[in-house]
Structure formats: structure tokens, C-alpha cells
Amino acid sequence: MSTDDKNRAIAAAILPLVGGAENISSVAHCMTRLRLGLRDRSLVQDEALKALPSVMGVVEDDTYQIVLGPGTVARVTPELEALVAEAVPQHTAEELADRGAALKAARKEKNATPFKLFLRRIANIFVPLIPALIGCGIIAGLNGLLINLGWLPGVTPALAAIASGFMALIAVFVGYNTAKEFGGTAILGGAVASIIVFAGVAKIDVFGQTLSPGQGGVLGALGAAVLAVYVEKWCRRWVPESLDVLVTPTLTVLISGLVTVFGLMFVAGEISQAIGDFADWLLANAGAGAGFLLGGLFLPLVMLGLHQALIPIHTTLIEQQGYTVLLPILAMAGAGQVGAAMAVYLKLPRNGSIRRTIKSALPASFLGVGEPLIYGVSLPLGRPFVTACVGGAFGGGFVGLFSMLGDSVGSTAIGPSGWALFPLLDGNKGLGETIAIYAGGLLVGYAVGFVATYFWGFSRELLEEFDVDTETVTEVTVAAGTPSTTPEPAKV
């Protein structure tokens, strides 16, 4: 079977289990998850979906999210979109969309909090930028290595331009996505945000200070684009239709641009500088404790899908310092997860089903994709999820301790984690020392996650419930004519 056929087969297997094409109102994806807007949540067959070999887990949030893993999700999504387009008659789309919007609004009103909805919006702005950040970050790391080795001196300037071009204009892309996310005209958001990176702002004095191109960074771009959306919406209400095409974009760019130049750039610049200064101060003065807390609490954020709301902070640090010192610490959460999974594997020698899940998910987890183990192993078991967090806390504390000692470890881009972060590592000391500290943190996370889970991750009742021969139980159950079921998450 070709790769295209395989991806289409995965999409075809998923479609009926989420209620068919008629039940899908939107299709999107992030790094690892297929995100579906559903009209009727009750039509979804959760257990059947989880049983599909290609599905690593499911998450119910603002959208219904199916964890397929990096690479796979980007290829399956267009296949599913094509199947939905083929199956749903065009003349009923508006009617179904209205029904789906009503159901979605009712569920949002019942379950969603304003803060969580705000974080999702922020994440939606920055998530589409991750592929470019990864690509440019890896090229920057390669270029730094070549410069240190003295190789290819005629090529390194070109690589530097390729790696830096996107970051130089990232404010424009943030402004574009922000306006789009908040319901405005995307290109107007990008136009206003482009003022921030325009070299000519160096001729402007504000509050007794001369502005610098890029001052305010992504935070300034985000604020400028949000302001542009509100100005545009106000213009749409009050400007006559005959003049709208001329007046609305002009006033939007003019008003938002003036506020950006004479206010937002300065304020956002101060905030961005404060974020960088606080991160440096925190790790220099309380690095071990801060690393312990950040590494220990990151897995719950991943579980909720809210970890992407940290992207603006990472991006701000990369703009200022060339790397984010937070990401290597947060990556230790995945190390704790790996160690915990290894302990579970040894503690449940008779449970072939869980052991197969761990074996299949471990390679991706070593590369920083922790969701398969979270939703397939540690979270359903209960205690191992907590002990995995303990492993991440100690790994984060290890990296944070070296920050206190003056050895900063950072990442030149965001997205990858685990072993995949090695090509992106950078710091204030030599590359070898930076790699050694990060690798040491991973080993601490693996070891503590394993030990904590092996000795304290299982109660006697939990072992009795899960350390059973699942294949034999399934065969007996089926022979008796009783349908097999997946056990409920453990109560610990």
C-alpha cells in the first residue's frame, strides 16, 4: 500500500467513528493532533477510535482532538477533508453548519472559561508559525556549528540569512494571524504589525527615547493587530458602504499605526524586556526551584493542550537572547514520562496490551512526543502520571541548578523536545557543555521517573487490577459470547 493510500485508509477508518461527514463542522490539525469540530458529540465512538492502530489517544476540548503523532497528522488531515467534501452534499452545508454552531456554542457556554478560551486564541495565533521556527532554528544551529569548526566560510553567511529572515519578520506573521483569529482582515493586521520591524522607526522619538526596529516584538505585533481589528469593526459599523473600501482600511492602518508607534511599541518593548529580565533573574537566583516547579507542572499543561499558550514567551526570549531558556527545562517533563513508562513496563509483565502500547510509543516519546504515553498509559493508571511529573520536576531542577551556576541552556527554536532538541541547543558557554547539561537533565528525568513509578506508582489494588494476562482474558470473554470492554481509568 502506498503512503497516500495508507493515509486515506486512516482517514476512512476515523470518519465513521466520529459520526460521519455530516457530523463534522471543521477539520484542522496542530503538531500531533487532528482537531475536529463536531455537531453532535454523542455520535463519537471513543473506544473504537482508541482501538485504531494509528490513533495514540483522544482529547476532548474546544474541539475533539485525535492524537496521530507528528508527520502522520499532517498527511491524514487533507485526506479526511477530501472525504468530508465528497460525502457532504454542498446544498446542506449551511444548514448543518448552523446546527453545529448552535451545539458548539451551547457546549462552550457550559464548559469553557474565558481564560481558557483566551489561551486557545493565543495558541491559534502562534501554532501555525512552529514549522518555520523549527526549520530556521535547525539551520541556525547548523550554521553555528560550521562557524565554530571553520568550515564552508563562503556558505555560512547565506545560511545565517536563511535562518534569520523569518525571525526578522515574525512580527508581521503574528499580526496577520492575530487579525485572522480575532475576526478582522488578516492583511491589515500584518500591515500594522509590519510597522514594528520597519527600519524607519529609528527616526522616531517616544517618551524621550528613540525607537528601535523590532522594539516590542511579537507582543507589540499582537497588541497592534488586536487594536486594528477593533478599529476595523468600528469602521464597518459607521462608514457608509459606498466609502467602506477606501475609508475603512485607511483609518484602520492610520489609527492603529499611530497608536503602535507612539504607545504600543514602547509599552510592549518594556514588557518584553521585563519577561527576559525576569527569566534570567529567576534562573540565576532560584534556578533549581524554578526548574523543579516548571518541569513538574508541564505535563498537566500538555494533558490539557494548553502548553502552546507558552509560545509567545518562548518567542519573545528567542527574539531578545537568541534562545529560550525555558524550553529545555520544560522538556524534562517528557523525560519523566519516559522513565515512568519503563517502570510500568516492568511492573506489569503479564499485561501484554499495555506493554505493547509502551513499546510502540517509546520511540516517539524519546523524541519529545509524550501524548501517546500520557493518554495511553500513565493518565489512565493514575499514580504513574503523578510520578512521571516527579521525574520531570527533578530533571528540570537539574538544568535549573546549572543556570544558577552560570551555565544557561537554551533552544534556538520551539516545537521539538527530548532528543529532537539537541540540534537546537544553544547557551552562554560552549556547545559541548550545553549538550552535556541537557543530556544530564534527561538522564535525571528518566531515572527519577522510573524509580518513583516503580516503588510508589502502584498500589496493591492497582497491580491486582492491571497485572493480568489480557490476551487470555479477552479469549475467554469472547468465547463466552460477551463483548470485551476497555477497563475504566484506575482509581487511586
DSSP 305-335: T-GGGGHHHHHHHHHHHSSBSHHHHHTHHHH
Sign of CA pseudo-dihedral 377, 381, 383, 386: positive
Which tens digits make up the pLDDT trace of 436-463?
A: 999 999 999 999 999 999 999 998 888 8
Q: Has residue 107 got a pLDDT over 60?
A: no
From residue 309, give the alpha-carbon distance in Å to each of 116, 126, 296, 439, 482.
10, 8, 17, 26, 45
4: its cell numbers: 497516500
Answer yes or no: 389 catalytic.
no
Partners of 205 in the β-ladder: 210
Are residues 325 and 294 in contact, defined by beta-carbon separation less than 8 angstroms? no
Distance CA 162, CA 316 (A): 20
Distance CA 402, CA 411 (A): 15
Helix boundaries (H) for 52-198: 72-87, 93-111, 114-126, 130-149, 156-168, 170-181, 186-197
Distance CA 325, CA 279 (A): 8
pLDDT band with cut points at 50, 70 and 90 for residue 369? confident
Distance CA 351, CA 458 (A): 14
Distance CA 405, CA 283 (A): 9
For the full predicted model, state whether its pTM sits above 0.75.
Answer: no
Q: Has residue 41 got a pLDDT over 50?
A: yes
488: its cell numbers: 475504566
Are residues 412 and 140 in contact, defined by beta-carbon separation less than 8 angstroms? yes
From residue 373, give the alpha-carbon distance in Å to each of 335, 464, 473.
11, 21, 23
pLDDT at 480: 42
pLDDT band with cut points at 50, 70 and 90 for residue 327? very high
Residue tagged active-site, from 30, 136, 235, 389: 30
Angle between helices 170-181 and 186-197 (to 10 degrees): 150
Q: Has residue 324 got a pLDDT over 60?
A: yes
Name the amino acid, one letter, at 151.
Answer: W
Percent pLDDT > 70 in the chain is: 87
Distance CA 220, CA 405 (A): 33
Q: Is 410 helix (H, G, I), strand (E, B) or coil?
A: strand
Which tens digits make up the pLDDT trace of 192-239?
A: 999 999 999 999 998 888 988 988 888 999 999 999 999 999 998 998
Distance CA 81, CA 24 (A): 10
Q: What is the mean pLDDT of the chain?
A: 83
pLDDT band with cut points at 50, 70 and 90 for residue 105? low
Which of the two residues, 386 and 351, has the higher pLDDT score? 386
Of 69, 72, 64, nearest to 44 by C-alpha is 64
